[in-house]
Homo-oligomer: A and B are copies of this chain.
Amino acid sequence: MTNKLNLNNLTKSEEDYLKALFQLLIEDNSTKVGNNQLADYLKVSPASTNNMIKKLKAKKYVVSEKYGKLELTEDGQSIAVRLIRKHRLWETFLYNYLNFSWDEVHEVAEQLEHIKSQKLINELDRFMECPTTDPHGEIIPNANGEYSIVPKITLSSLKEGDVCQLISVNDGSVQFLKYVSEIGLALSSEIKIMEIRDFDKSIKIKFNEAEETVTRKFADNVFVKIIPEL
């Protein structure tokens, strides 16, 4: 009996905190996630975070020592993965069936992911014929909460001369997504690092025969797969 977990006893806020922790801890693969970092990520005060972490520790979804780093229990992770599954399935639905654009899906999916109905999400999955990635290129966990966490390589971590393929983009900001579309980048685009300028770490990239210079901040939000040179 792995699944005695009751997913219906969580408030929207509790869910938001668990999902945020998962994204910082597991998806971003951080060594240490602290209280203030989480507060920053969720755009709330450190006091609020501290408060919520206490509650989540009492419910055994989070473990941490006083003044120590935050960690998710298995149950905590399980809840977070289910939320991510819901979020990404809804994004896919909005994008593929309801004419939403790349940058519009996130905000609405943030609301839809909190709808409590196991049947709803499983049927939505079936209706869409079990998609494996969302519109931003992120992998959708399956109904058992299993999914391969591909270590994320950012465009900013590459060196001059590297060639890579765009895998996914951070969907946290509408402005960013609009910019990505505008310069003509799309999922699977092949990108070559032409030059990295030392003084501001801005990067000159080449794709589809076009060249663009992007900032370090931009490159931090673009996830890629390196294409080994022949």
Contacts and interface: CB of A to CB of B under 8 A. Distances in A.
A115 B123 contact: no
B111 A98 contact: no
A58 to B, nearest CB: 26
Interface in A125-148: 126-127
Contacts of A112: 112, 115
A99 interface: yes
Contacts of A123: 98-100
Contacts of A100: 119, 123
A97 interface: yes
Contacts of A5: none
Contacts of A94: 120
Interface string A65-103: 000000000000000000000000000001001111000
A127 B98 CA distance: 7
B124 A98 contact: yes
Residue in A98, A107, A127 whose Cβ sees the most chain B Cβ within 10 Å = A98
B116 A111 contact: yes
Contacts of A124: 98
A115 B111 CA distance: 6
A220 B97 CA distance: 39
A99 B124 CA distance: 10
Interface string A7-33: 000000000000000000000000000
A81 B115 CA distance: 22
Contacts of A104: 119
A107 B108 CA distance: 20
A213 to B, nearest CB: 34
Contacts of A3: none
B127 A117 contact: no
Contacts of A117: 107-108, 111
Nearest to A94: B120
Nearest to A116: B111
